[in-house]
Amino acid sequence: MTRSLTSVGIIGLGSYLPERVLTNADLERMVDTSDEWIVTRTGIRERHIVADGEATSDLATKAAQRALADAHLTPADLDLILVATISPDMPFPATANVVQAQLGGANTPGFDLSAGCSGFVYGLAVGAQFIATGLYRHVMVIGADALSRLTDWTDRTTCVLFGDGAGAAVLGPVPEGSGFLSFTLGGDGTGASLLRIDAGGSRRPASPETVAAREHYIRMAGNEVFKFGVRAMADATVEVIGKAGLAPCDIDLLVPHQANVRIM
């Protein structure tokens, strides 16, 4: 049965943070930085970091289990699992498949989405379509990353920013008008070099040289990313509100991507 997007919504939520906490005071002992410098520029005081042996799928599974409990569903009720991540357990198989095995949902299909900071929103938009078209009834959407695995802990411009965690949402049928009102997605590939990991893919496969050059870590042009983020987030917010037939003054709560307090 097909349905409108406004009759597809979030029926369960869950999140998970690894136990280890890395504070700004800890970072002061690792790189040339200070709590005052970090807080002034980012608003960040601490971040959660995975333990040895802990992977993105572990975070995703725990968040998914909590979302299922919140929705009063079991893994067997899921028709699809989507994992939005840029730090998968491995290049393949998909982290979604690993999560499926850990959850215990027999034969539930799944795949990963790689859309960076906007990955969870992409996952919501994709998952909602599967339900709106009538193909599936319950879709698990998970945003999970273990970015500490990709962080250069000698680079003070990036290591202060990233942490690890997961959030999950179960999508399903809801009363007409109480679901999603609109989505806005966009992209600008011309800025691909501003936030990247240079090596480890098909263009620059892993080698002793790329490892020695520390090319498997996150690199960022911070000022340019900041300017793009502020403009793009503002434009997208206005656009999605307009698509819903609303005005900014109608919005009671705005939940942005929490990159840092200055962008928000």
Domain harbouring 168, CATH code = 3.40.47.10
User: Do 103 and 229 share a domain, yes or no?
Assistant: no
Determine which helix (DSSP H) or strand (DSSP E) holds 235, and give its type and residue range: helix 222-243
Sign, CA dihedral 201-202-204-206, equals positive
Full domain range(s) for residue 163: 5-173
pLDDT at 174 over 90: yes
pLDDT confidence of residue 262: 82
pLDDT tens digits, one per residue of 195-253: 999 999 999 999 999 999 999 999 999 899 989 989 999 999 999 999 999 999 999 99
Q: Where residue 264 falls among pLDDT bands split at 50, 70, 90?
A: confident
pLDDT confidence of residue 261: 84
Residue 60 counted as domain residue: yes
**Cis, peptide link before residue 93, omega less than 30° from 0:** yes
CA pair distance 107, 104, nearest whole angstrom: 9
Residue 180 counted as domain residue: no
pTM for the predicted model, two decimal places = 0.95
Counted domains in the chain: 2
Tokens of 249: 């003054």
Q: How far is CA 245 from the centre of its chain?
A: 27
> Stretch 2-23: mean pLDDT, rounded?
95
Q: Where residue 140 falls among pLDDT bands split at 50, 70, 90?
A: very high
Mean pLDDT in the chain?
95
User: Do 155 and 196 share a domain, yes or no?
Assistant: no
pLDDT confidence of residue 42: 92
pLDDT at 257 over 90: no
User: Do 149 and 98 share a domain, yes or no?
Assistant: yes
Residue 199 counted as domain residue: yes
Strand order in the sheet with 8-16: 8-16, 164-173, 139-146, 80-84, 110-113
User: Do 234 and 203 share a domain, yes or no?
Assistant: yes
| Residues in the chain, total | 264
